[in-house]
């Protein structure tokens, strides 16, 4: 079936280091959405990318949508403790407008 | 506070019980969703309602039964559940269907014993 693969599953970083999570779809996406879920919380919408090659920034967060609209990435520069949580991508399939979620990448700050 | 309220926050039920989860949104949205979140798995979309009409049912077992009496309220009726149904059940709403930006409730943590 249709899948959105998200890697890595976990990423341990020192505070101040960068973090990146990647999502790849086997089929073309109409758009891709990114969400953040804090520990014990619920997913919170961050951004939606629609255009091929689109890049959007929110302070230290940079979101990219690939040229083929099959992959996307979220990069956080100089992580802070407030960035801790699980980051999910969700891709809207071009073929049937189903929203397929990635498994999430958990950002862990090393003590 | 996201404008989407779920009750109860926690629920423990036996396999022979019948219970209901409730979701209410105060955002004036037209689409509402039920998701299941299990550990180490992607979010699973269960049901979608758009203008009170069910538009998606992703092969969910019949022991889960949704109800959407109006565009602000969504229920998930549960009966004869299995232990593997234990998970976080999340309700979400969006301004319209087509899977636009979703606003999630805080979820109901369900444990089936």
Say whether pLDDT at B1 is over 90: no
Task: Work out the average pLDDT over B80-98.
Answer: 91
Find out whether A27 and A93 touch, Cβ atoms under 8 Å: yes
| Tens digit of each residue's pLDDT, chain A (111 residues) | 678 999 999 999 999 999 999 999 999 999 999 999 999 899 999 999 999 999 999 999 999 999 999 999 999 999 999 999 999 999 988 777 778 899 999 999 998
Neighbours of B31 (CB within 10 A): 22
Q: Which residue in chain A has the smallest CA separation from B99?
A: A99
Say whether pLDDT at B99 is over 70: no
For position A99, what pLDDT does the model report? Answer: 83
Helix (H) or strand (E) holding A108: strand A105-109
Query: What Cα–Cα distance (Å) separates residue B58 from each residue in A63, A99, B7, B11, B54?
Result: 29, 11, 23, 23, 11
**CB B101 to CB A92 under 8 A?**
no
Q: How far is B66 from chain A (nearest CA, A)?
A: 19
**CB B101 to CB A45 under 8 A?**
yes
Helix (H) or strand (E) holding B56: strand B53-57
pLDDT, tens digit, 9 for 90 and up, residues B45-82: 899 998 878 877 778 999 999 999 998 999 999 999 99
Query: What Cα–Cα distance (Å) separates residue A6 from each residue in A41, A46, A62, A86, A89?
Result: 20, 17, 17, 11, 8
Q: How far is CA B62 from the centre of its chain?
A: 14
DSSP, res A51: S
Q: How far is A17 from chain B (nearest CA, A)?
A: 25
For position B98, what pLDDT does the model report? Answer: 62
For position B39, what pLDDT does the model report? Answer: 84
Q: How far is B40 from chain A (nearest CA, A)?
A: 7
């Amino acid at each position: 079936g249709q899948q959105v693969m998200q890697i890595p599953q976990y990423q341990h970083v020192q505070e101040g280091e960068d973090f990146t999570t990647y999502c790849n779809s086997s089929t073309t996406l109409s758009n891709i959405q990114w969400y953040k879920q804090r520990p014990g919380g619920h997913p919170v919408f961050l951004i939606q990318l629609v255009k091929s090659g689109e890049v959007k920034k929110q302070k230290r967060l940079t979101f990219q949508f690939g040229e083929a609209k099959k992959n996307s990435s979220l990069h956080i520069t100089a992580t802070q403790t407030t960035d801790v949580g699980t980051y999910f991508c969700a891709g809207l399939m071009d073929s049937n407008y189903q929203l397929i979620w990635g498994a999430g990448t958990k950002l862990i700050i090393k003590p | 506070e996201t404008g989407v309220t779920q009750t109860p926050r926690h629920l423990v039920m036996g396999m022979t019980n019948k219970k209901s989860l409730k979701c209410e949104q105060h955002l004036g949205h037209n689409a509402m969703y039920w998701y299941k979140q299990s550990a180490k798995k992607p979010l699973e979309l269960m049901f979608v309602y758009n203008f009170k009409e069910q538009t998606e049912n992703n092969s969910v077992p019949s022991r889960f039964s949704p109800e959407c009496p109006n565009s602000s309220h969504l229920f998930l009726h549960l009966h004869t559940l299995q232990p593997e149904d234990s998970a976080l059940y999340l309700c979400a709403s969006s301004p319209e269907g087509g899977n636009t930006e979703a606003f999630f409730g805080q979820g109901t943590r369900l444990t089936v014993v």
